[in-house]
Structure 1
């Protein structure tokens, strides 16, 4: 009989713990290194964050939104982002060409005076 009473309490306890973990977030970090005769062969750095989506966004973590494997909006967002960057890059190259032309003109003007 005492086991029947403990099981629901344990489930409630687990639900409370899970709710707290997702609300606050938990970070688990560890490193594994394999050495042979003093030579490091392999290092694996493990980082695990367990949190709710809201908590992760609050912490500035939202990589799943731009991953095309996880979000159907990611490919659309990614192509718009690339297009905007290409346009900005083109504009900057045009401005650089204009500045270089002006510098060349000033340089030629300075050489003519000497």
Structure 2
């Protein structure tokens, strides 16, 4: 029903601003609500010529506070080496450990003496029960 036909609702005057649910809210209130609850924006863009799809882009955007993101299980920034100094430290430690393992494996391979293969002239002896 249009607003002018609702009972006890005055018709809007021409040129007057529309009242919305957020008109009384400040930008800070809206931002606080979005960060507290989170918001997801999703969209797909497809470019086609005739029946041939040339480009397909899937866009997923999540806006939330860090606490809310952790609560829902998103914490990729903690392990991204470009964003976390601790992650960079772990990458360096991992590289050092891999180099050490490689060095130990080479030493082990050098220290092992290959077992002599049985010659054809000497038959293999099997233990009999």
Short-chain TM bin: 0.5 to 0.7
Q: CA deviation at 1:95?
A: 3.6
Tell me how far apart the structure 2 counterparts of residues 38 and 96 of structure 1 sit (CA, whole Å).
56
Give the counterpart of 1:80 among 67, 89, 108.
89
Distance 1:50 1:40, change over 3 A: same
Distance 1:65 1:96, change over 3 A: closer
The secondary structure found in structure 1 opposite 2:75 is: coil
User: Tell me, which stretches of 5 or more residues in structure 1 are unaligned?
Assistant: none
Q: Counterparts in 2 of 1:63-102, with a 5 A limit? A: 63=77, 66=80, 68=82, 74=84, 76-77=85-86, 79-98=88-107, 100-101=109-110
Distance 1:87 1:64, change over 3 A: closer
Distance 1:109 1:50, change over 3 A: same
The secondary structure found in structure 1 opposite 2:59 is: strand
> 2:45 aligns to what?
32
Q: Counterparts in 2 of 1:46-65, with a 5 A limit? A: 46-58=59-71, 59-63=73-77
Q: CA deviation at 1:62?
A: 4.4
Q: CA deviation at 1:48?
A: 0.5
Structure number with the bigger relative contact order (C-alpha 8 A, sep ≥ 6) is 1
Name the TM-score, length of structure 1 as normaliser. 0.59
Greater Cα radius of gyration, structure 1 or 2 = 2
Name the TM-score, length of structure 2 as normaliser. 0.54
The secondary structure found in structure 2 opposite 1:109 is: coil
Tell me how far apart the structure 2 counterparts of residues 67 and 100 of structure 1 sit (CA, whole Å).
34
User: Tell me, which stretches of 5 or more residues in structure 2 are unaligned?
Assistant: 1-15, 120-129
Kindly indicate which of the two structures has a greater share of residues assigned to helix.
1
